[in-house]
Amino acid sequence: MDQKRALLAIIVFVAGIALLWIFLAQGLLSLDVFRSSPVTLTGDTTKEEANSLTLYHTQNGTTHIYEGTIEMPTPCHRLSSSITTGGVSRTVKIKLAIAEPEEGIACVQMMDSQSFSVSLTSRELPNVALSLNDKETPFVITEKK
């Protein structure tokens, strides 16, 4: 009976190693746990805006709403958003910031989509600037119906 258990344990071990090798070869698993992945900005990959963030704009009377989604490196990263208006220039600045996960927290190494939404009141359509972690970020505005 002990020989059967030992043989079964060896078979399970070898199968586990084989599966691990297959997942690593296919890129489905990353052992680089301490990697700081860049945020993926999504857009239409067939156009110029492929490497830009898409802002969806909705206007309801004088209220302008800008929404979007960012692919985060892990579900433990947190996205915050704010908006500031710029007086005479009518430029609004949408600021997005990504907070790193707290130290010591084990987090699944997989991409996670996080959405944001900011709004402002303006009679006219404002000029928009966007920053991600205090860096200007390319974006495309799409009118949302």
Strand 78-85, strand 91-99: pairing: antiparallel
Say which residues have a Cβ less than 8 Å from residue 128's Cβ, sequence separation at least 6: 55, 66, 91, 92, 93, 94, 139, 141
Band the pLDDT of 91: cuts 50, 70, 90: confident
Question: What pLDDT, on the 0 to 100 scale, is given for residue 94?
Answer: 93
* Percent share of the chain, pLDDT over 70: 74
The rounded mean pLDDT for the chain is 77
Token pair 């239409």: residue:
44
CA dist 129 and 127 (Å) reads 7
Lowest pLDDT segment from 53-57, 88-92, 132-136? 88-92
Q: Is the pLDDT of residue 118 over 90?
A: yes
Cα–Cα distance, 135 to 38 (Å, whole number): 13
d(CA 140, CA 52): 7
> For the segment 26-64, what is each residue's pLDDT rounded down to a tens digit?
444 433 333 333 344 443 333 444 457 899 999 999 999
CA distance 95 to 80: 8
CA angle, 52 then 53 then 59, to 5°: 135
> What is the enclosing helix (H) or strand (E) of 15?
helix 2-26
Contact 91, 128 (CB under 8 A): yes
